[in-house]
Structure 1
Amino acid sequence: MTKKILIMEKAIELFSKNGVESTSIQDITNACGISKGAFYLSFKSKDDLLVEITNYFIKKIIAKQNEILNDSIPKENKITLFFFHSFKLLEDHYSFISMCMRENFQPMNNEVIKKIKELNSILDQSLLTIIQQTFGEKAEHFKYDLLLVVRGLLISYTEFITTRPQKYNLEHLANSLAEKVNIIVEYSNLHFVTEQMWNLIGSSNFDELISKEHILSLLEPLDGHYKENPLIDESIQLLIDEMKKENPRLAILTGLVSNLQKYEEFSLIVFLIKQYAANIQTVSIE
């Protein structure tokens, strides 16, 4: 375990127990058995630590979304897996997540706020893709309503679980919620949220996230950092070269990103490049 990961894990433990505001850097270094100087070699400040913890959870969440979006997953299992992995994350990090909900934690760090907004945009797009993969044309006219239904179920049951702590059968919970979603799809005739209404808030932000400029801003700092793993190192270099072209090639992007997708630390980059590639394909078809 690296020192940076040790600090993050101990910080999460302390934040879970005492809250973010009440936990000092000294508390964290004492728990780690390191000096403050050692802390500042890894993180510039507690705010910087919070940004990295946010990244830690974002990568975990998106890694699971990437698994669900994979074509090898049967479409009838995707919604169930979405619920299961969401509640499994809650179970694995119950103390920290319940603390955030209990204290209605509102981060003041602008970088954390920005990353949380980006994550929400990514999760909405991921869930839309899962809905489209699962139900196809059957849910096309009310996919945004369905997205809000799924998200509402997730939030409501998360609140239920965090206020009634015990061991839950997550498979049964996921199957139960997926059944409810399937019933809605089967019998819904009316919809409220239109694509135009949805895009008033969400589309431009996500378009920025899957832009060549943003993807390159994530890739370029990684160039040369993985020389101990030539496959990763060369894949990153080639992805940078390809993304700098006026018209990046779909087959090249797809092949290169497949070399990174099994590593959780690249989950965000993998998701964004796949979405970028999907847009290229859609435009070329049109």
Structure 2
Amino acid sequence: MTVPKGKLIPIGGSEAKGQEATDASSELRQPTFFESGILAEFLAEVKGPGSRIEIIPAASEVPEEMGKAYLDAFHNLGCKNVHVLYIDSLKEADSPDNLRRIDKADGVLFTGGNQTTLIDKLLDSQLIRNIQQRYQYDDFVIAGTSAGAAAMPRLAIKEGKSSESLIKGMVETEKGLSLLPGAIIDTHFMQRSRLPRLTEALLRNPGLLGIGLCVDTGVVITQGNVLRAIGSGGVFIVNADDVLDTNYHDIRELTPVYVNKLHITILANGASYYLNERIFTKTDETVIQS
């Protein structure tokens, strides 16, 4: 398989504080929450403030408000050549103008919202195929926050209730955007107690690696393999390859699950991970092949 020339930056998302907050306001907190760190890191991985960036708020229920928030955030970082690409249907995704804009961009950022909504609008589009091609063969950067991150892998978590216990049947998955074939991503990871649902997704789909991203935290993935933690929180690498004992495949749904030898590695700034080799390393010791 060809090593991708581009980079992926999945981000764990943000969440509003207080019971009065709505889902929409939670989404709109993301740009300001990341402004001083994550978005600046994204620009550094592209071509700096001179980059041409396309924001894609297709996952959001409030795309205009979301788009404006990101425009303001990037402008505050000195990036003026940033645009919002509004997509409300598969047909709209493949308009000639949208395809030209992707061809001209240095990077794209998928906002938060609902990953199923994003996948439904883009999965079979020429636009996503063009984005996949640019990631594979160009120095092209794809970021996604919250839903935009969860949609990146070949398999995405569609639904899944958080629970204090691991209960069989709480997770539903769907085909994702196939930018990261060997992993599955969950976001708002510790804030929304999502270890049980990510673990079930791995038990249902052997061979995948779980990446749990906390808020204001992301990873830069180079060559489709080398993962570097960024941001202010933690990244949980969940590996079910060596599970010795589990009742998962023998029990009825809605029954508690036991698991022996689930392996968890926690990354933060200064730590990296080789996805294919399942190896932890300090970032300053990580080797990137040119």
Q: TM-score, normalised by structure 2?
A: 0.25
The structure where helix makes up a greater share of residues is 1
Q: TM-score, normalised by structure 1?
A: 0.25
